[in-house]
C-alpha cells in the first residue's frame, strides 16, 4: 500500500515509517520538523519507497494514498505549551485535513489520540468507556482538548460521511529517538542521571504512570489499522503502574548514577495516576505489551548515552 504518516519524523512517527517500510509499503512522511528531526529518518531517505515532505498539517495537502496515520502534534508539556494556540490548531486542523483527504481518496485514517483525554481520572484504571475529568481552560488544555476534539471530528466524519477511521489512545511511551529536552519524565530522569544532575521529581513522587516501550506501541498501531471490524478508541499502553519515585530509583540503579532526588512543586493539572485498562486491546486485537520497563529503560539509556555530550 501507499501510506501517509503525518508527524513521520518524530519519535514514534519515524519508528512507524521504519516498520511500514519493512513490511513492503510505500511511505510518505509529512512533518514540519517542529519536534520531529530529519536525523530520525536520515537512514530512510535513500529508500526508493520512502518520501519525506516538509509540510505543516494545519495547511491542506493532497496525496493518493490507501492509509493515513495522523501522528502530527507535539506531545510533551514544554513543547505543546510553547505555543498553545498552534498546538490546538495542529490537533483540530490536522484532523480535519487528514479526514478530508481520507474522504476524497477513500483511505482508512488513523488518529493517534492520548490518555490525556481522560484528564486527572476519577476512574482507575481507565477503560475506553470513561469520558474523562478534564479542565477545559488549564495550561494543558490545548493538548488535552485538542485531542478530544480530534476524536469528535473522527467520529463525526465516520457517522456523517462513512470515513473509515481508527483511534488509538496512547499511554506514556518511551524509547530511542525521544528528544533529550522534551520534558517527559523518562527522558528527564535518564538525562539527569547520565549527567550526574539532581533528579527532579514533582510533588512527593507518589503520582503514578504506566510506561510502554515504543515497539510494543507500534505493534498495537499496526494491529488496529489492519483490523476491519474494530475502529476504537482503543487504549494502547502498558498496564504496569509505577510511582515517579520508583521510576527515578530504577533509572539511578541502571545508570549507576550518584545523582540525588530533589522534589519540586507539582505542575497544575498534573494527573495523580494513569494506568490503561487494556482488556479491549487484548480481546479485539490480541495485543499486550511484551517489553518490561527494565528492559526498555536499558535500551533507552544506551541511546541517550550516545546522544548527549557527557
Q: Residue 275's closest CA among 303, 246, 239, 250?
A: 239
Pairing state between β 241-243 and 208-210: antiparallel
Q: Residue 241: in which H helix or E strand, if any?
A: strand 241-243
Per the rule left: phi > 0, alpha: psi between -120 and 50, beta: everything else, 48 is alpha
Burial of 162 (0-12, 13-18, 19+ CB in 10 A): exposed
Question: Do 96 and 157 form a contact (C-beta atoms < 8 A)?
Answer: no
φ/ψ (deg, to 5) at 2:
-100, 125
Active site residue 143: yes
Spell 146-155 as b/e; 16+ CB within 10 A means b.
Answer: bbbbbbebbb
Question: Which of these is catalytic: 143, 157, 213, 214?
Answer: 143
Grid cell for residue 251: 533509572
Q: Which residues are catalytic?
A: 143
Amino acid at each position: 500500500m501507499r501510506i501517509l504518516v503525518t508527524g513521520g519524523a518524530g519519535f514514534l512517527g519515524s519508528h512507524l515509517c521504519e516498520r511500514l517500510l519493512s513490511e513492503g509499503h510505500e511511505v510518505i512522511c509529512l512533518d514540519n520538523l517542529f519536534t520531529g528531526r530529519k536525523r530520525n529518518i536520515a537512514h530512510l531517505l535513500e529508500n526508493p519507497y520512502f518520501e519525506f515532505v516538509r509540510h505543516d498539517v494545519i495547511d491542506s495537502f493532497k496525496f493518493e494514498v490507501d492509509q493515513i496515520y495522523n501522528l502530527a502534534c507535539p506531545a510533551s508539556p514544554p513543547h505543546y505549551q510553547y505555543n498553545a494556540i498552534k498546538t490546538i490548531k495542529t490537533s483540530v486542523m490536522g484532523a480535519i485535513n487528514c479526514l478530508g483527504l481520507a474522504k476524497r481518496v477513500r483511505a482508512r485514517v488513523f488518529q493517534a489520540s492520548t490518555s490525556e483525554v481522560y484528564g486527572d481520572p476519577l476512574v482507575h484504571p481507565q477503560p475506553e468507556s470513561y469520558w474523562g475529568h478534564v479542565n477545559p481552560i488549564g495550561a494543558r488544555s490545548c493538548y488535552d482538548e485538542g485531542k478530544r476534539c480530534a476524536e469528535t471530528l473522527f467520529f463525526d466524519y465516520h457517522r456523517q460521511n462513512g470515513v473509515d477511521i481508527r483511534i488509538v489512545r496512547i499511554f506514556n511511551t518511551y524509547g530511542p529517538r525521544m528528544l533529550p529536552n522534551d520534558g517527559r519524565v523518562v527522558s528527564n530522569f535518564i538525562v539527569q542521571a547520565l549527567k550526574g544532575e539532581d533528579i527532579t521529581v514533582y510533588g512527593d513522587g507518589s503520582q503514578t504512570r504506566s510506561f510502554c516501550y515504543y515497539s510494543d506501541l507500534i505493534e498495537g498501531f499496526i494491529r488496529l489499522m489492519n483490523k476491519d471490524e474494530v475502529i476504537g478508541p482503543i487504549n494502547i499502553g502498558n498496564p504496569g503502574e509505577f510511582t515517579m519515585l520508583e521510576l527515578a530509583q530504577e533509572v539511578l540503579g541502571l545508570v549507576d548514577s550518584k545523582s540525588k532526588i530533589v522534589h519540586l512543586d507539582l505542575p497544575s493539572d498534573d494527573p495523580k495516576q494513569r494506568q490503561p485498562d487494556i482488556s479491549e486491546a487484548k480481546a479485539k486485537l490480541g495485543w499486550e505489551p511484551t517489553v518490561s520497563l527494565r528492559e526498555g529503560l536499558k535500551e533507552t539509556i544506551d541511546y541517550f548515552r550516545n546522544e548527549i555530550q557527557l
